[in-house]
Amino acid sequence: MPRKISVSRIGFMLCCFLLPALIGTFASFSIPAPLVDALHQQAALDAVLTAASPSARQAAIAALPDTVDADTAAIVTNGTGPLSARVAAATANMRRETLAQARTAAYKIRLMVITLSVLSAIFAITLMGPDRRG
């Protein structure tokens, strides 16, 4: 006896596959977050070097703990040596941290999308399984 095709079950199965696609799409918007953060931090570090006066430079240095990571700010504020060398070291540190944050975010997003895809596929296959009507 031929099996009757259920349009609603097929539609539901498609939704199970579309869910991870939508989640992946929305998650992809968070991928540039570490880069945007790095751009803001770089601007704060550049402000220290390009300050027009010594008082403006001191104000930019004082603002670093609020605008960059704590350890990046500490390199400039607590360091010894020429200011340009401290800012260069802070920039290198900030870039290493940004790269690590980007890799972590990308890994978590991939893991989330893969996990939801597999779970949705299992759910869809379960729903599309044989009818259990007597």
| pLDDT above 70 for 93 | yes
Q: Percent of the chain, pLDDT > 70?
A: 93
Rounded to two decimals, what is the model's pTM? 0.70
What is the rounded CA–CA span in Å between residue 31 and residue 29? 6
The answer to whether residues 99 and 71 touch, using CB atoms and an 8 Å cutoff, is: no
Average of pLDDT values for 53-64?
A: 94
Question: Measuring CA to CA, which residue among 35, 102, 42, 47 is closest to residue 72?
Answer: 42
* 8 A C-beta contact, residue 115 and residue 23: no
Alpha-carbon gap, residue 81 to 75, rounded angstroms = 11
The distance from CA 22 to its chain's CA centroid, rounded to whole angstroms, is 17
The SS3 call for residue 52 is coil
- Residue 38 pLDDT grade (very low, low, confident, very high; cuts 50, 70, 90): very high
Residue 133 has a pLDDT of: 57
**pLDDT recorded at residue 1:** 52
- Tell whether the torsion through CA atoms of 94, 100, 105 and 110 is positive or negative: positive
Which position has the higher pLDDT, 49 or 79?
Answer: 49
- Torsion 19-21-25-30 (CA) sign: positive
